[in-house]
Structure 1
Amino acid sequence: YGGGNGDFINVCEPLGLARVAGTSFAAPFIARKMAYLIHIMGLSREEAKALLIDSAIPWNDKKTFADISLLGYGVVPIKIEDILSTPDDEIKFIVSDVSRAYETYNYDFPVPIS
């Protein structure tokens, strides 16, 4: 996310600090998040991508076509903690494996009642 509607971000240009807006500034922002999730948290590329997408798209959000054309599918949170954490009333599982044709997998997850 590179700012917009008067909400600029600070960048370093050859002559110093500049306040700018534009979608091209989203790429290094997302690359930094991906690098942290992969190299610091030890997630695979697919797991890191899934977490970024999940953090940017609320399940209950009803975006119009105009919204999607302006923002894509969402804005990734600025703080990495907001990508890795969940609200108190939610549980997030990361299950990652190779799915083979004609095989069924069942997982039992113990979930506390209180």
Structure 2
Amino acid sequence: MGGGLVYQRCGWCGTANFRRLLCPVCASADLAPERSDGQGVVVRSGVEQRYRRAARSESVVRFPEGFEVRCRVVGAPPHLVRAGTRVRLASGADPKAGELVFEVFGVCDTDERDRW
């Protein structure tokens, strides 16, 4: 298998999830591995959670396959990583090693307020 991100799909209800022992919907243990290309969209960024000390640098990324992953996003100034920012698995990141790191796919449509 090539690069990308391995997630699981439930054989009973079809729910996609990431690193679970049981399906979060039906509690089935019939989880089959599938591969995502590693491209997703930020749904909650670390900047939006700045008042929560533990989650300061974490973002939540949603994938088109239907699962979400808590991770760290790099490659752009933190104030530009918002909900809706497209990201991909960082080259050299090893999902099996623990922390997941995603990089910004391309920051587009910024306005003058985003400039320093």
* Larger gyration radius, structure 1 or structure 2: 1
TM-score of Structure 1 vs Structure 2, range by shorter chain: under 0.3
Per the normalisation by structure 2, the TM-score is 0.25
- Choose between structure 1 and 2 for higher RCO, CA contacts under 8 A separated by at least 6 residues: 2
Higher strand share: 2
Per the normalisation by structure 1, the TM-score is 0.25
Higher helix share: 1
